[in-house]
Amino acid sequence: MKKLALAVLVALPCAAAAWLAGCAPSRDALPAFYASRPVFEQPFAGQRVPKGLKSLSAAECGTCHVAIYREWRQSVHAQAWADPQFRAELAKQPGVSWLCINCHTPLVNQLDSLVVRLEGDDVERPVKRANPSYDAALRDEAITCASCHVRDGAVEGPFGGTKAPHATRRNPALRSAEFCLRCHQAVQAYPGKTFVCTFDTGNEWKAGPFAAAGTVCQDCHMPPVERALVEGGPVRRVGMHGWIGSHLRKGSETNLALWDSLAASRPPGVELRADSLVRVGAGGAVEWSVRVVNANAGHMLPTGDPERAVIVTLAAIGAGGDTLAREQVRFGQKWEWWPAPKKLADERLAPGAERMITLCLRAPRGPWRLAATAVNERISDANADFHRLPESYPRRVEVARIEARPRP
Select the residue interacting with ligand HEC from 160, 284, 352, 367 (CB under 6 A).
Answer: 160
Q: What residue is closest to ligand HEC based on CB?
A: 304
The burial of 95, by beta-carbon neighbours within 10 Å (0-12 exposed, 13-18 middle, 19 or more buried), is given as: middle
Which has the closest alpha carbon to 157: 178, 167, 171?
A: 171
Q: Is the separation of the CB atoms in 312 and 374 below 8 Å?
A: yes
Residue 175 binds ligand HEC (CB under 6 A): yes
Residue 333 binds ligand HEC (CB under 6 A): no
What's the one-letter identity of residue 67? A
**Which of the ranges 29-37, 69-77, 109-117, 319-327 carries the binding residues for ligand HEC, by CB under 6 A?**
69-77
Residue 297 binds ligand HEC (CB under 6 A): yes
Whose Cβ is closer to ligand HEC: residue 214's or residue 366's? 214
CB atoms within 10 A of CB 69: 18
CB atoms within 10 A of CB 10: 9
Q: Is the separation of the CB atoms in 324 and 364 below 8 Å?
A: yes
Whose Cβ is closer to ligand HEC: residue 139's or residue 378's? 378
**Which of the ranges 11-19, 25-33, 125-133, 151-159 carries the binding residues for ligand HEC, by CB under 6 A?**
151-159
CA 278 to chain centre: 40
Burial code (b: 16+ CB inside 10 Å, e: under 16) for 150-188 equals: beeebbbbbeeebebebbbbebeebeebebbbbbbbbee
CB of 328 to ligand HEC, least distance (A): 18
Q: Is the separation of the CB atoms in 141 and 80 below 8 Å?
A: no
Number of amino acids touching ligand HEC (CB under 6 A)? 103
Which has the closest alpha carbon to 78: 264, 230, 241?
A: 241
Residue 139 binds ligand HEC (CB under 6 A): no
Residue 308 binds ligand HEC (CB under 6 A): yes
Select the residue interacting with ligand HEC from 34, 134, 190, 195 (CB under 6 A).
Answer: 195
Q: What angle do CA 231, 236, 242 make, to 5 degrees?
A: 80
Whose Cβ is closer to ligand HEC: residue 131's or residue 147's? 147
Residue 184 binds ligand HEC (CB under 6 A): yes
Residue 68 binds ligand HEC (CB under 6 A): yes
Q: What is the dihedral of CA 318, 322, 325, 326, to 10 degrees?
A: 130
Whose Cβ is closer to ligand HEC: residue 244's or residue 359's? 244
Q: Is the separation of the CB atoms in 369 and 404 below 8 Å?
A: yes
Residue 218 binds ligand HEC (CB under 6 A): yes
From residue 82 to residue 121, what is the string marking binding to ligand HEC with x (rule CB under 6 A)?
-x-xx--xx-----x--xx-xxx-x---------------
CB atoms within 10 A of CB 83: 19
Tell which positions 257-296 bind ligand HEC, by CB under 6 A. 267-270, 296
CB of 24 to ligand HEC, least distance (A): 31
CB of 152 to ligand HEC, least distance (A): 14
User: How far are the Cα atoms of 142, 165, 342 from residue 67, in angstroms, in the given order?
Assistant: 19, 18, 44
What's the one-letter identity of residue 404? A
CB of 27 to ligand HEC, least distance (A): 24
What's the one-letter identity of residue 315? A
CA pair distance 269, 296, nearest whole angstrom: 5
**Which of the ranges 24-32, 120-128, 162-170, 282-290 carries the binding residues for ligand HEC, by CB under 6 A?**
162-170
Tell which positions 365-394 bind ligand HEC, by CB under 6 A. 376, 378
Whose Cβ is closer to ligand HEC: residue 233's or residue 318's? 233
CA pair distance 168, 151, nearest whole angstrom: 10
CB of 275 to ligand HEC, least distance (A): 24
Select the residue interacting with ligand HEC from 67, 115, 138, 180 (CB under 6 A).
Answer: 180
**Which of the ranges 131-139, 251-259, 276-284, 303-311 carries the binding residues for ligand HEC, by CB under 6 A?**
303-311
CB atoms within 10 A of CB 268: 21
From residue 224 to residue 263, what is the string marking binding to ligand HEC with x (rule CB under 6 A)?
-----xx--xx-x-xx-x-xxxxxx---------------
Whose Cβ is closer to ligand HEC: residue 131's or residue 303's? 303
Longest CA pairwise span in the chain (Å):
103
Tell which positions 198-217 bind ligand HEC, by CB under 6 A. 199, 201-202, 205, 210, 215, 217
CA pair distance 186, 38, nearest whole angstrom: 9
